[in-house]
């Protein structure tokens, strides 16, 4: 199984430790992983800003870069969702369809493909799990409260394999953090208020660390906490799986 590791822009620039943890974890699980050096953005920022036609060359570059891999794995439900759902703008060649079908968020790759049932990691802390919107409702990585169905979360499933981890139960387990890419710029006041509400939910339940599958959401919450001189650490779930401690 030949895996192409896609590392989103904000992980590459601001949280490189998440990209390194993703590579190490997959390699430690016995996967053959490649990091194509020519990779670039998936095109989501341009599309979200209303310039999706201008993003098409970026989409085409992504397809050329990753179409030879069995799976394209990313530590980001948001970017994975964009590739899967927005690349319908391209002519649906065999390569485009392959990339769209085989691009997976790291959590769904671990659960659905690897069938992960054991991990050697210990994290003795109370964790508040933030379910990011694109992963939750776009990729169905977890159940949404608006649906009549059994509750599940693929990220929580893999974190439950970690020794001594403890989850706090939030009042609003699937509410948006307010980031939303350019939404945080165009609607700053609403975005910050939504972020503060999410942080308060975690704080009130005694979370020692806020965990998610998208660093973009955690970057938003971390920025608000820094401005308010609050100090709840944030971590991508892959860091915990890979043994990172506070």
Specify the pLDDT at position 192: 97
Query: CB–CB of 211/127 below 8 Å?
Result: yes
Least confident of 34-38, 180-184, 189-193: 180-184
Specify the pLDDT at position 35: 98
Specify the pLDDT at position 149: 87
- pLDDT tens-place string over residues 55-71: 999 999 999 999 999 99
- pLDDT tens-place string over residues 114-146: 999 999 999 999 999 999 999 999 999 999 999
Q: What is the overall mean pLDDT for the chain?
A: 96
Specify the pLDDT at position 220: 97
The arithmetic mean of pLDDT across residues 16-39, rounded, is 98
Q: For residue 232, what are its two tokens?
A: 């709840």
Nearest to residue 69, comparing CAs of 44, 93, 104, 45?
104
- pLDDT tens-place string over residues 73-84: 999 999 999 999
Taking the CA atoms of 147, 149, 151 and 154 in sequence, report the sign of the dihedral they define.
Answer: negative
Q: Which CA distances in Å does 208 have to 31, 64, 126, 165, 215?
A: 32, 42, 5, 11, 17
Q: Which pTM does this prediction carry?
A: 0.95
Q: How many CB atoms lie within 10 A of CB 91?
A: 6
Q: Which residues contact 160 (CB under 8 A, 6 or more apart)?
A: none
Q: Is the pLDDT of residue 36 over 90?
A: yes
């Amino acid at each position: 199984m030949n895996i192409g590791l896609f590392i989103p822009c904000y992980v590459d620039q601001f949280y490189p430790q998440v990209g390194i943890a993703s590579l190490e974890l997959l390699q430690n699980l016995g996967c053959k992983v490649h990091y194509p050096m020519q990779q670039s953005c998936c095109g989501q920022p341009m599309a979200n800003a209303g310039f999706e036609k201008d993003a098409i060359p970026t989409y085409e570059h992504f397809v050329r870069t990753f179409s030879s891999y069995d799976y394209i794995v990313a530590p980001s439900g948001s970017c994975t969702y964009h590739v899967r759902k927005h690349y319908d703008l391209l002519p649906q060649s065999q390569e485009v369809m392959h990339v769209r079908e085989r691009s997976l968020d790291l959590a769904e790759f671990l659960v659905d493909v690897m069938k992960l049932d054991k991990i050697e990691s210990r994290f003795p802390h109370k964790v508040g799990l933030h379910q990011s919107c694109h992963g939750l409702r776009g990729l169905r990585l977890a159940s949404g409260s608006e649906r009549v169905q059994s509750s599940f979360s693929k990220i929580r499933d893999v974190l439950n394999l970690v020794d001594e981890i403890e989850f706090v139960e939030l009042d609003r387990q699937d509410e948006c953090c307010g980031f939303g890419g350019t939404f945080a710029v165009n609607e700053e006041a609403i975005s910050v208020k939504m972020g503060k509400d999410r942080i308060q939910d975690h704080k009130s339940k005694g979370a020692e660390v806020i965990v998610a599958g998208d660093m973009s959401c955690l970057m938003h919450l971390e920025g608000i906490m820094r401005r308010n001189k609050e100090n709840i650490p944030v971590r991508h779930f892959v860091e915990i799986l890979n043994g990172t401690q506070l």
